[in-house]
């Protein structure tokens, strides 16, 4: 599975300069960033620098071009429930994950809320690719609102600059499932990869930088026949939604999710060089609000009985549309799926939202994995944690003792 990646248009950092941006950082963050990296890519920052920057990407002056995602006047409560008896050493698990935040919502109650790395409830942590699942939900809202006619429409129907490119034959559905068949290499270790070359791409006058790059890529497989992980294509989904709705994604996110779901804090969404929200990445939000997003999805992406997506959308989005070469797992509409009916949003360095409808369960987590963007040991440990939580809920329901 391809996870090593640069986040398009969002990972270049030169230095923290400018008194306003520096002054907005908390004391701990300023201290951790006292020795700045010389490398421009966050994948090569030191661990302490990541600890600080992940909670402040929208306040670093070089990356600080972001739009606010406004919250509403009413906050959805997270009523406390009885502590969940887990058959594991939670402190050891959080240390292994290098967890900044870990929340469990079950049955509409907050069963666990823990923080680490000096991060607190009031802070906002970057989402990385968890944003992909949010972008997918916004596309569903655009379909319901009538801005997008059908997922079988071609990408070029909405992004005219794609006429004549390999994307001229690609449907929105294939874009959502990362099965366009258009060539894309997301390996940052390869200096000739698309993610590496994209950073130096000079777009044509008046053309979005992402569109300018993607429309020159070759076709390598028939559309719909091959899954290939591509942050570039999620960013293209965001361009499509913004074109179709005529609104910035941050505004649409506020209208369709942030306000209806009762988020307690505003969020921010980082922008590309050409002023487009980086829809495959980079929403800065409170972990509690990410848990509320999971609850919103569990509730059918609806508020007050009013759905924000078409009938049947979530059933399609959160079940496997494409195989990914792992037993029992697949890929939906920008959601990672499991054969037991659960599904997840995932971001590099340990960001995640795990949702299990059968157990009325949401697990929201933020972290800074010690092993880097793709820490396979930490990733496997997190999967084991999800299973342990599921088992604890099952044991609770059947009256078994914890771990029994």
Residues in a beta bridge with 365: 102, 352
pLDDT at residue 293, as a whole number: 98
Look at residue 402 in the predicted model and tell me its pLDDT. 62
Statement: residue 199 has pLDDT above 90: no
pLDDT grade for 193, boundaries at 50, 70 and 90:
confident
On whether the 19-398 domain is CATH 3.40.710.10, my answer is: yes
- The whole-number pLDDT of residue 344 equals 98
Residue 72 sits at φ, ψ, to 5 deg, of -95, -175
Average pLDDT over residues 367-393: 96
Confidence band (pLDDT; 50, 70, 90) for 228?
very high
Half-sphere exposure of 361 (CA within 13 A, CB side): 20
DSSP 217: P
Residue ranges of the domains in the chain?
Answer: 19-398
pLDDT higher than threshold 50 for residue 11: no
Q: In whole angstroms, give the CA distance from residue 404 to residue 400.
A: 6
Cα gap 107→101, rounded to integer Å: 20
pLDDT in tens, 205-214: 778 888 888 9
User: How far is it, in rounded angstroms, from Cα 114 to Cα 123?
Assistant: 13
Mean pLDDT of 8-14: 37
End-to-end, the C-alpha distance of the chain in Å comes to: 34
Q: What is the pLDDT of residue 41?
A: 67
């Amino acid at each position: 599975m391809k996870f090593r990646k640069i986040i398009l248009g969002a990972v270049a950092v030169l230095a923290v300069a400018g008194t306003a941006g520096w002054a907005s950082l908390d004391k701990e963050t300023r201290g951790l960033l006292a020795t700045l990296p010389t490398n421009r890519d966050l994948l090569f920052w030191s661990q302490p620098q990541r600890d600080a920057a992940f909670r402040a990407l929208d306040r670093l002056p070089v990356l600080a071009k972001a739009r606010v995602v406004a919250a509403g006047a009413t906050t959805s409560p997270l009523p406390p429930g009885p502590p969940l008896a887990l058959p594991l050493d939670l402190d050891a698990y959080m240390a292994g994950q290098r967890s900044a935040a870990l929340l469990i919502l079950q049955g509409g109650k907050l069963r666990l809320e823990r923080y680490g790395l000096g991060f607190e409830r009031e802070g906002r942590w970057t989402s990385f690719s968890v944003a992909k699942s949010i972008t997918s939900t916004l596309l569903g809202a655009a379909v319901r609102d009538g801005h997008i006619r059908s997922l079988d429409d071609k990408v070029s129907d909405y992004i005219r600059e794609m006429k004549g490119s390999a994307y001229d034959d690609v449907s929105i559905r294939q874009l959502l499932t990362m099965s366009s068949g258009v060539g894309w290499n997301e390996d940052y270790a390869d200096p000739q990869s698309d993610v590496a070359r994209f950073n130096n791409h000079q777009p044509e006058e008046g053309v979005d930088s992402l569109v300018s790059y993607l429309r020159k890529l070759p076709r390598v497989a028939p559309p719909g026949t091959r899954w290939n992980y591509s942050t570039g294509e999620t960013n293209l989904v965001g361009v499509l939604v913004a074109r179709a709705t005529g609104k910035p994604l941050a505004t649409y996110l506020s209208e369709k999710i942030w306000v209806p779901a009762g988020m307690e804090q505003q969020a921010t969404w980082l922008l590309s060089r050409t002023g487009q929200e980086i829809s495959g990445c980079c929403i800065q939000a409170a972990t509690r609000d990410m848990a509320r997003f999971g609850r919103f999805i569990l509730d059918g992406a609806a508020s007050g009985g009013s759905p924000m997506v078409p009938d049947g959308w979530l059933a399609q989005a959160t079940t496997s549309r494409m195989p990914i070469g792992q037993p029992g797992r697949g890929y939906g509409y920008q959601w990672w799926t499991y054969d037991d009916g659960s599904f997840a949003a995932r971001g590099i360095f340990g960001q995640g939202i795990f949702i299990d409808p059968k157990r009325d369960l949401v697990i929201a987590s933020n972290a800074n994995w010690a092993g880097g963007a793709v820490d396979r040991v930490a990733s496997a440990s997190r999967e084991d944690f999800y299973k342990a939580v599921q088992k604890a809920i099952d044991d609770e329901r059947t009256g078994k003792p914890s771990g029994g």
